[in-house]
Structure 1
């Protein structure tokens, strides 16, 4: 048994002796500036009713490490007599503007009180930066303009937390959720509510904002989004949401977040107790032939972020269940997808290449720029979340090469062993000129900002970097005892957990 590998970590926010605590991480990468923005809530205690202000640390990305600046309070990101919560940044690449959305909650009103009484105390707020987070605008309270009278049907609402995304169309998307009031006085209860995930979106670079329809059928809360492309050029917006149903819920949108199809349970992605926030990030699948070393016809080899792709496909096929017959179409629509092929013989490299988009008897495809225009680099998705279903411990990352299929997720690679909770991911594409990159296509590095600690998950917020190659190499090849036997009844029992 080899020792588990954990990425090197840097603590960015740490609980202070007087009780000041930092929670709810949000991470944003700005490619043009090679800058990472790490946000968090500063609270007077771990309790959400003691949230206070938002804080920021700015990091310069140098490919293999990040140089972090000092922590500072975002003074403009606040409303008088309100506490600032749930940072959710999104970057407009076309204008170079960072939008930092957050909710401002009146006084010390906890979320639970709003849900119980149906009396919303949250406001939709935003500040912007045009210089990569160095300076920030005055706060804009968008509640009346964007939500209007509909807020009377919301017991409360919140954003993300974590990052929003921008689509190729230019649309900006901010993930959100609300507790919708189903009945104000039902069977002796003051208020009956149901949580639903949805999006705020803008098609004019943030000049105006709108909100879309809820995920209709399942209880969903804190969520994140990814734009997912497939080889045939088709696209869906993928939402992965927290749920009290024992596992995550995913839902797809065919109109860029204005409405969602019914949600699906993702049983491979377990929730702990009443659930925990998780993060997703989409990135282009690194399907490319090494142009500097053209293989012989009998030994076609594809690469994945520096790894032998055919080797990875063999590993992935052992980890994942075969895609069912229904995986080729989206329920409730007329859009049909050709099912992804499965190797007829797991040991056959030709079959594996067919599953990757190649065909036996043909020369291996060249770099992506030389492929047929009908071929679209597919999107893979990485997901981070505590891996136990009983407590918030052992933060792991899971990979899906076909996220539309709820059964496509691998087992997790645990990147932090111990108490851990909320996290946020960013994907960073290294230029193809970098030594770590595969010729012809950027290599992928991931950044993760997450809550962790020795005894409690709210002791600190740490940051780490790891590559797609490391994800592939560290995905368990068989079921790990981590997340099954590591159920962590007490806060210290996690230390007894071992990896198979």
Structure 2
């Protein structure tokens, strides 16, 4: 009888009918990390500005800026993409997905400040929006920080349509704000439950630092599946309480409203939040969230359905949780390190859970949820060779479990 029970038990374990101990489900499981892009490899000096989405078919798309000569925002920059069909375990070779056709001029604001080089054109700030229909991915990007484009994929990022120039949409703002530079995202955009495609955008008169300051924040949106786009209201201006608001992130709340979480150069060094009923109009007065430190760096946010407290799903926020820097003045950038993940169960009001993903040098990040419910964080980090002390910059994808994030309290 004992022999029969033994064989039945083994069969049940093999078929998955009985629970068995597994590191993948335990709270002790550390995130797995895969380096996707390495500075100095494949003809590019560095790779920056990561973005990641997961398509309806479960294909993971990781994209970034490939900067030919240096890490500066201005110069010869291309957009590269890698795909994973197994949830982020293995990846395709990188592929350049934007080929410029026609004549492109350098941004006059950058030329005036001697930024970039003659003959070099910047393709910047790529963002994708995953669609609920199989295979469909929307994609926005800028050229020379003064032209905005849209293209789409019908085959999970294997190919993209011919780009459509959307710059005229933003030109409508010029009578009230004479912008010279603009950038969408970066990171990812969102699709609301009502079908609206939505992305954050910042604009600048370009006569300040790096031709990116001063700046204001708005959104661009499409209510017809990307065929036409509109510019939303200004969310935050360039004056106090926010100083130079710029790279911002969006999330749809449980009640259908849209929350924008903004980076700025304000002396408070906290992320600023505003809420709109539709993601384009009637934005609330921005307020600082005391728990979300602002070292002046891109951040990101996403809903994580697998993280639950009762009937409430969790929202995850990522950025370098650090305000340390020698001799720094209020409003100056802090050291980009200690990339952390925070978890909220009350729609971003409070953030009771915080875990360090990368204690060392780490900066921009984007978030997605894989088909199996794991959290994917695509981020910038620098690794130091202990023997040579050489520093090398990478773009890395970390795979995170709910159990690790919550120390086993939520599985």
Normalising by structure 2, we get a TM-score of 0.75
Contact 2:53 2:60 in 1 (8 A): yes
Structure 1 unmatched ranges of 5 or more: 106-120, 287-303, 310-355, 357-376, 431-443, 476-500
CA pair 92-19 structure 1, distance change in 2 beyond 3 A: closer
* Residue 394 in structure 1 maps to residue 338 in structure 2: yes
Aligned pairs for 1:219-258 within 5 A: 219=243, 220-229=245-254, 234-245=255-266, 246-258=269-281
CA pair 215-59 structure 1, distance change in 2 beyond 3 A: same
Instruction: State which of 99, 106, 109 in structure 1 corresponds to 2:138.
Output: 99
| In structure 1, C-alpha distance between the alignment counterparts of 2:100 and 2:212, rounded to whole Å | 32
Contact 2:149 2:163 in 1 (8 A): yes
The total of aligned residue pairs comes to 340
Secondary structure of the 2:85 match is strand
CA pair 87-201 structure 1, distance change in 2 beyond 3 A: same
| In structure 2, C-alpha distance between the alignment counterparts of 1:167 and 1:130, rounded to whole Å | 19
* Residue 35 in structure 1 maps to residue 64 in structure 2: no
Secondary structure of the 1:24 match is strand
Q: In the alignment, what sits opposite 2:403? A: 469
* Residue 155 in structure 1 maps to residue 180 in structure 2: yes
Deviates more, 1:193-202 or 1:34-43: 193-202
| In structure 2, C-alpha distance between the alignment counterparts of 1:415 and 1:87, rounded to whole Å | 24
CA pair 133-124 structure 1, distance change in 2 beyond 3 A: same
Q: In the alignment, what sits opposite 1:322? A: none
Give 1:378 shift: 3.7
* Residue 448 in structure 1 maps to residue 362 in structure 2: no
Give 1:200 shift: 0.6
After superposition, the C-alpha distances for 1:390-440 in whole angstroms (9 at most, x for unaligned) are: 3101211011111352xx11352011121111000002353xxxxxxxxxx
Q: In the alignment, what sits opposite 2:329? A: none
* Residue 203 in structure 1 maps to residue 223 in structure 2: yes
Instruction: State which of 123, 127, 148 in structure 1 corresponds to 2:151.
Output: 127
Q: In the alignment, what sits opposite 1:212? A: 232
Give 1:40 shift: 0.6
CA pair 265-458 structure 1, distance change in 2 beyond 3 A: farther
| In structure 2, C-alpha distance between the alignment counterparts of 1:192 and 1:10, rounded to whole Å | 32
Q: In the alignment, what sits opposite 1:21? A: 46
Give 1:237 shift: 0.7
Give 1:39 shift: 0.4
CA pair 255-412 structure 1, distance change in 2 beyond 3 A: same
Contact 1:38 1:56 in 2 (8 A): yes
Give 1:192 shift: 11
Give 1:194 shift: 4.0
Contact 1:53 1:78 in 2 (8 A): no
Give 1:30 shift: 0.3
| In structure 2, C-alpha distance between the alignment counterparts of 1:417 and 1:53, rounded to whole Å | 29
CA pair 462-78 structure 1, distance change in 2 beyond 3 A: farther
Secondary structure of the 1:147 match is helix
Aligned pairs for 1:202-351 within 5 A: 202-216=222-236, 218-219=242-243, 220-229=245-254, 234-245=255-266, 246-272=269-295, 275-284=296-305, 304=308
Give 1:222 shift: 0.5
Give 1:66 shift: 2.3
